[in-house]
C-alpha cells in the first residue's frame, strides 16, 4: 500500500468509453469516484479508450485528469449522492483539470429517454453513413400542405427521419372514409378539422415534435371570390406567404392541382425547397422543384445550372392532372409516393449543392451516400415501373417563369387577386393556357425502366 500511494500519480487508468463526443462518458465519473474514495487518490489521470467499428480510434480517445472531493458523510448508510456532471475549463482559466458541478436532470426524464430511443435508428445509420447530420434534420422546418392520405404519411415519415419542427395546413375535415385511407385518424376524429385532428396523433407517436396545425383554405387561380370573402382570402394569402418564408422545406400534398399554384410561386420566389407528391389510381409522381431565379430573374440558378422545372412546367403538368383527377387509388400507392417524397427531402438536405443540385437519372454513378437525387420520379404499380425524368423550367410556366415572378414582385398580392378573380389572367400573361403543354422545352433523359411516361394510368 505504501508503494501504491507513492507511485499512483504516475499511473494512467484505462476506461472503455462508448461515447464519441469531445468529453468523457458519464460512467467514467463512477470510476473516478471509486478510485478517489477507495484509494484516497486526489487526482486521477485517465485514458478514455474508444473504438470505431471494432478498430481502435485513437483520434477520438481522450486523456485527462480529474479530481473528486469526498462529500461529507459519504460512507454513512443513509447517504444519497448528488447528481454530478462534467464542466470544461472556464474562459480565461488555463487549468487543465476537469471540475465537477450539478447537472440538469432533463436528460434523465422519460421524455428525453424516449426521444433518444426514437432516434437510435438514425444514429445506427450514422455508423454506416457518417455524413448523416441529425441536427440538420432536427432543425429543418417543414411545411406540409395537405393533411390527407399523403399528408399523414409524409408527416409520420418526417418524424422517423428525425424532423422535429412541423407545420400542417389543411382546410378540410375528417370523414368516415378517411379513417381507412388516412393512416393517422380514428373514429373520434370524424367531423374534426384535419389540421386539428392530426396534431395529437403526431404528438402521441413523437412527444418531442413541435407541430402546429393550421386550418386554412389555400387560394386557387381562376376561382373568383365575392367581395364578402375578399378579406379572408387576402388574410389566407398573407398567412401562406409568412409560412413559406419561415419554412425550409414545403411539401405540396393537397388534393387539387390548382391549390398548389400559389405555394409553388412562393417557393420559387423565396428559393425554398419544394417537393410535390401526387397519386392516381395506379400511378404516382414525386418531384422536387428547381431553385428560384434569384433577384435577377435569370434562367440559371445561383450556381449557374439550368433551372429545373416545377410541377406546372412542361410535361409534369399533364401527369399531375392525370393522377389528381382520380378519386380512388390502389391501397399502398400513397405509402410508396410518400416514402419517395421524404427520401427525396433527406437527399436534398444532405446534398452539398442542396436545392441547386442537378437532376440524376437511373443508371448514373453517384458519390452521394444516400444515392441518386432525381428531379422527377413517375411510377406505375401495374407495370412495376419507375421512370426518372428531368425537365427544365419553362419560359411560359404560370407559376415559376420570370414573367410571372416579375409581376408578383411588382404587384404583390394585387397580382394574386387578379389571378384568382380573372380566369384568363395567367393565360394572357404567359401566352398559354393551364392545359397547354410545350414538350419541346422539356429534356426527357433515358429512364431506368421502359415506361410510357405520357400515360401511366390505365383508367
Give the number of domains in the chain. Answer: 2
Is the Cα torsion angle 151, 157, 159, 163 positive or negative in sign? negative
Q: Are residues 145 and 65 in the same domain?
A: no
Q: Are residues 277 and 394 in the same domain?
A: yes
Q: Please name the residues in contact with 130: beta carbons below 8 A apart, sequence gap of 6 or more.
A: none
In a domain, 459, yes or no: no
Q: Are residues 8 and 148 in the same domain?
A: no
Check which CATH number belongs to the domain holding 180 and give it: 3.40.50.720
Final residue before a domain boundary, out of 76, 103, 130: 103
In a domain, 457, yes or no: no
Domain membership of residue 80 as a residue range: 2-103
In the prediction, which pLDDT does 454 show? 34
Q: Are residues 268 and 135 in the same domain?
A: yes
Number of CB atoms found within 10 A of residue 257's CB: 20
Q: Are residues 63 and 128 in the same domain?
A: no
In a domain, 155, yes or no: yes
Q: Are residues 388 and 281 in the same domain?
A: yes
In a domain, 425, yes or no: yes
Sheet holding 210-215, edge to edge: 210-215, 165-170, 141-145, 249-252, 273-279, 283-288, 376-380, 385-389
In the prediction, which pLDDT does 455 show? 33
Number of CB atoms found within 10 A of residue 356's CB: 19
Q: b/e string for 228-243 if b means 16 or more Cβ within 10 A?
A: eeeeebbebbeebbeb
Q: Are residues 269 and 168 in the same domain?
A: yes
Q: Please name the residues in contact with 185: beta carbons below 8 A apart, sequence gap of 6 or more.
A: 152, 174, 178, 179, 194, 197, 198, 201
In a domain, 158, yes or no: yes
Is 46 within 8 Å of 15 (Cβ atoms)?
A: yes
Helices 261-270/402-411 angle, 10° precision: 90
In the prediction, which pLDDT does 366 show? 78
Final residue before a domain boundary, out of 70, 103, 136: 103
Q: Are residues 81 and 171 in the same domain?
A: no
In the prediction, which pLDDT does 18 show? 81
- pLDDT tens for the chain, 459 residues long, are 444 444 555 788 888 888 777 888 878 888 888 888 877 787 888 888 888 877 888 888 888 888 877 777 777 766 666 655 545 555 555 554 445 455 455 555 666 667 777 778 888 887 777 778 888 999 999 999 999 999 999 999 999 999 999 999 999 999 998 898 898 999 999 999 999 999 999 999 998 899 999 999 999 998 899 889 999 999 999 999 999 999 999 999 998 889 999 999 999 999 999 999 998 888 999 999 999 887 776 666 666 678 899 999 864 445 555 555 556 788 889 999 999 999 999 999 999 899 999 898 888 887 777 889 999 999 998 888 899 989 888 888 999 999 999 999 999 999 999 999 998 999 888 886 544 333 333 333 333 333 333 333 332
In a domain, 139, yes or no: yes
In a domain, 448, yes or no: no
In a domain, 451, yes or no: no
Final residue before a domain boundary, out of 75, 103, 131: 103
In the prediction, which pLDDT does 266 show? 96
In the prediction, which pLDDT does 242 show? 96
Q: Are residues 170 and 298 in the same domain?
A: yes
CA–CA distances in Å: residue 43 to residues 10, 27, 37, 89, 325: 11, 17, 11, 16, 74
- 431-445 pLDDT per residue, tens: 865 443 333 333 333
In the prediction, which pLDDT does 249 show? 97
Q: Are residues 267 and 127 in the same domain?
A: yes
Q: Are residues 67 and 215 in the same domain?
A: no
Q: Are residues 66 and 181 in the same domain?
A: no
Amino acid at each position: 500500500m505504501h508503494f501504491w500511494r507513492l507511485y499512483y500519480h504516475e499511473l494512467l487508468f484505462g476506461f472503455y468509453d462508448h461515447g464519441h463526443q469531445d468529453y468523457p462518458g458519464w460512467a467514467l465519473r463512477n470510476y473516478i469516484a471509486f478510485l478517489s474514495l477507495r484509494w484516497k487518490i486526489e487526482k486521477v489521470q485517465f485514458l478514455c479508450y474508444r473504438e470505431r467499428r471494432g478498430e481502435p480510434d485513437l483520434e477520438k480517445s481522450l486523456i485527462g485528469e480529474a479530481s473528486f472531493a469526498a462529500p461529507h458523510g459519504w460512507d454513512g448508510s443513509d447517504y444519497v449522492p448528488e447528481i454530478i456532471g462534467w464542466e470544461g475549463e472556464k474562459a480565461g482559466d488555463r487549468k487543465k483539470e476537469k471540475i465537477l458541478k450539478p447537472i440538469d436532470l432533463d436528460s434523465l426524464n422519460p421524455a428525453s429517454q424516449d426521444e433518444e430511443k426514437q432516434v437510435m435508428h438514425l444514429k445506427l445509420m450514422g455508423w454506416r453513413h457518417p455524413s448523416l447530420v441529425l441536427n440538420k434534420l432536427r432543425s429543418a422546418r417543414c411545411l406540409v400542405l395537405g393533411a390527407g392520405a399523403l399528408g399523414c404519411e409524409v408527416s409520420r415519415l418526417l418524424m422517423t427521419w428525425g424532423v422535429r419542427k412541423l407545420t400542417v395546413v389543411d382546410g378540410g375535415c375528417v370523414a368516415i372514409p378517411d379513417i381507412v385511407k388516412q393512416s393517422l385518424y380514428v373514429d373520434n376524429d370524424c367531423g374534426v378539422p384535419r389540421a386539428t385532428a392530426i396534431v395529437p396523433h403526431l404528438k402521441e407517436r413523437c412527444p418531442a415534435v413541435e407541430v402546429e396545425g393550421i386550418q386554412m383554405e389555400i387560394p386557387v387561380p381562376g376561382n373568383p371570390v365575392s367581395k364578402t370573402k375578399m378579406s379572408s382570402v387576402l388574410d389566407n394569402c398573407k398567412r401562406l406567404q409568412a409560412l413559406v418564408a419561415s419554412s425550409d422545406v414545403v411539401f405540396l400534398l393537397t388534393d387539387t392541382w390548382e391549390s398548389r399554384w400559389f405555394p409553388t410561386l412562393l417557393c420559387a420566389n423565396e428559393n425554398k425547397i419544394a417537393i410535390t407528391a401526387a397519386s392516381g389510381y395506379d400511378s404516382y409522381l414525386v418531384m422536387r422543384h428547381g431553385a428560384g431565379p434569384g433577384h435577377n430573374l435569370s434562367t440559371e440558378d445561383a450556381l449557374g445550372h439550368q433551372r429545373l422545372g416545377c410541377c406546372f412546367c412542361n410535361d409534369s403538368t399533364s401527369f399531375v392532372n392525370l393522377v389528381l383527377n382520380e378519386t380512388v387509388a390502389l391501397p399502398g400507392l400513397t405509402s410508396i409516393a410518400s416514402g419517395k417524397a421524404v427520401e427525396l427531402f433527406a437527399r436534398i438536405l444532405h446534398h452539398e449543392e442542396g436545392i441547386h443540385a442537378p437532376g440524376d437519372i437511373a443508371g448514373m454513378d453517384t458519390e452521394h451516400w444516400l444515392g441518386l437525387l432525381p428531379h422527377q420520379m413517375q411510377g406505375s404499380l401495374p407495370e412495376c415501373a419507375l421512370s426518372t425524368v428531368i425537365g427544365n423550367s419553362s419560359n411560359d410556366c404560370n407559376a415559376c417563369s420570370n414573367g410571372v415572378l416579375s409581376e408578383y414582385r411588382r404587384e404583390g398580392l394585387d397580382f394574386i387577386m387578379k389571378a384568382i378573380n380573372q380566369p384568363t389572367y395567367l393565360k394572357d400573361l404567359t401566352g398559354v393556357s393551364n392545359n397547354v403543354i410545350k414538350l419541346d422545352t422539356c429534356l426527357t433523359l433515358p429512364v431506368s425502366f421502359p415506361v410510357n411516361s405520357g400515360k401511366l394510368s390505365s383508367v
